[in-house]
Copies of this chain bind each other. A is one copy, B any other.
Amino acid sequence: MKITLIGSGNVAWLLGKALQQAGHDIVAVYSPTAAHREALAQVLPPAKAVDSLDLRATGAELFVIAVPDAAIASVAAAVRVPDGAIVVHTSGSQPLAALQGIAGARPGVFYPLQTFSKSKPVDFSTTPILIEAEDEQTLQALQALASTISKEVHQVDSLKRRQLHLAAVFACNFTNHLLGISRQLLQQAALPDTLLQPLIQETIAKAMQNHPFLVQTGPAVRHDQNVIEEHLRLLQDQPLYQQVYQLLTQSIQDHSQKR
């Protein structure tokens, strides 16, 4: 497929490379900052850096909007594409409707479910790609495209993508925060930062192989009130962490009772 990239950040950079490696033609790169669009165009030859959102002359059939979520609406309002072109965004949290009103375009979503940093290569073949479109023909075009870079392509509508995003907040954002609290507690005790890493890795591996609720361990699920009270005492100068400890203990216990 002939593809134009809108944006030159983490996603444009890595997805652009993956699409090119799969044999697609990246014909143009638009991005507000000249140095950024030129740098990306240079690594994706023969892509041209372009400085206008009127992209009708780029010769592309597909336009990938990979800009911050908050900028998608303004790009959608300003962009011009040839009649019948497919225009997708790459966001997990924005609905398909965010691309309504691009004249002549067939809107779609092409969401790679992974966290990207320009500097770190990604294995796209195992990265789930979630696609959505208004009509069957567009959906099939996106399915065919996604299948050239990933073995895991799913059709997921906007409501389900929102539920998925909520699940990701628990599994990734909140989990990361707990790992941060844990690291801080190790530092407060003058223990090495890395001490818990083998245990964390094993915990995650177990939670992947089983339903996490079935392999829950620790004082909460054992209703070990002595240990729980001692832990709350150790947290007495950190009232917010104390509240987090209490609420998660309650949630674990609530869950184990229901089983």
Given the known interface contacts A128-B198, A154-B195, the answer about A166 and B178 at a Cβ–Cβ threshold of 8 Å is no
Interface bin, chain A? 35 or more
Distance (whole angstroms) from the CB of A70 to the closest CB of chain B:
9
How far apart are the CA atoms of A169 and B240 in the complex, in Å?
16
Is the beta-carbon distance between A204 and B201 smaller than 8 angstroms?
A: yes
Chain copies in the assembled complex: 2
Given the known interface contacts A113-B195, A199-B113, A251-B244, the answer about A178 and B170 at a Cβ–Cβ threshold of 8 Å is yes
Given the known interface contacts A168-B182, A198-B127, the answer about A176 and B212 at a Cβ–Cβ threshold of 8 Å is yes
Distance (whole angstroms) from the CB of A197 to the closest CB of chain B:
6
Complex partner residue of A235 from B114, B154, B166, CB under 8 angstroms: B166
How far apart are the CA atoms of A13 and B208 in the complex, in Å?
25
Q: Quick one: which of A152-180 are within 8 Å of B by CB?
A: 154, 156, 160, 162-180
How far apart are the CA atoms of A167 and B245 in the complex, in Å?
11
Distance (whole angstroms) from the CB of A201 to the closest CB of chain B:
7
A119 part of interface (Cβ distance < 8 Å): no
Is the beta-carbon distance between B128 and A218 smaller than 8 angstroms?
A: no
**Interface segment out of the listed A31-39, A71-79, A186-194:** A186-194
Given the known interface contacts A181-B170, A191-B164, the answer about A114 and B204 at a Cβ–Cβ threshold of 8 Å is no
Chain B residues, CB < 8 A from A127? 198
Is the beta-carbon distance between A189 and B160 smaller than 8 angstroms?
A: yes
A52 part of interface (Cβ distance < 8 Å): no
Is the beta-carbon distance between B252 and A216 smaller than 8 angstroms?
A: no
A231 part of interface (Cβ distance < 8 Å): yes
Chain B residues, CB < 8 A from A172? 196, 199-200, 203, 217-218
Is the beta-carbon distance between B212 and A177 smaller than 8 angstroms?
A: yes
Is the beta-carbon distance between B173 and A196 smaller than 8 angstroms?
A: no
Q: Quick one: which of A205-224 are within 8 Å of B by CB?
A: 206-208, 211-213, 215-221
Chain B residues, CB < 8 A from A100? none
Given the known interface contacts A162-B230, A177-B216, A204-B201, the answer about A182 and B196 at a Cβ–Cβ threshold of 8 Å is no
Is the beta-carbon distance between A164 and B176 smaller than 8 angstroms?
A: no
Query: A196, A230, A245: which has the most chain B beta carbons within 10 Å?
Result: A196
Q: A164-B189, A204-B204 are in contact. List 10 more A-B contacts (CB 8 A).
A: A163-B234, A174-B178, A174-B244, A174-B252, A176-B203, A180-B211, A183-B213, A201-B208, A240-B250, A240-B254
